[in-house]
Amino acid sequence: MTDLNTFIRAIPDFPKPGILFRDITPLLLAPEAFRAAVDQMAAPLAGSPPDVFAAIESRGFLFASALAYKLGRGLAIIRKPGKLPYKTRTASYSLEYGKDRIEIHEDAIKPGQTVVLVDDLLATGGTMEAAGRLVAELGGRVTEYLFAIELADLNGRRKLTAAPVRCLLSY
């Protein structure tokens, strides 16, 4: 089995002093590691995959698109405001110093569809919690929050109460 931890690079003081950034690019560059990560993410879902995977811009797209392809499901994308060309729904969330917003096409999730929300990293959970609200607003049901990496000390999973949280790696 591939030890995915060996493919995560720790970069101190990025993007600002005091932050230890967990860089997934070495994992993406190593075909065996990326394949192992996607396979590990997909395995528990294989028997009963969601109707749709939904991913948050931009690194979440990398994992969710591979999962959607592997399991034969659709992919809904969640982006920053002004990036989607069709009618959207918007959710706001809090940041350390301020607020931000994310958007999804209003027809991306159909009422009653099951959705696995995917991102590369779980930190404080605010963005993913807002994504879950968007899915619910469109009539979908989040069945799992799925991440490649969790920064456990930030306790982001406490905000994600609508469904189980699963992470491949925890730091």
Q: Which residues are catalytic?
A: 59, 96
Query: What would the two tokens of residue 37 be?
Result: 């990560």
C-alpha to C-alpha distance for 102 and 91, rounded to whole angstroms: 6
Contact between 162 and 132 under an 8 Å Cβ cutoff? The reply is yes
Antiparallel, parallel or unpaired: β 88-95 and 74-79: unpaired
3-state secondary structure the chain: CCCHHHHCEEEECCCCCCCEEEECHHHHHCHHHHHHHHHHHHHHHCCCCCCEEEEECCHHHHHHHHHHHHHCCEEEEEECCCCCCCCEEEEEEEECCEEEEEEEECCCCCCCCEEEEEEEEECCCHHHHHHHHHHHHCCCEEEEEEEEEECHHHCHHHHCCCCCEEEEEEC
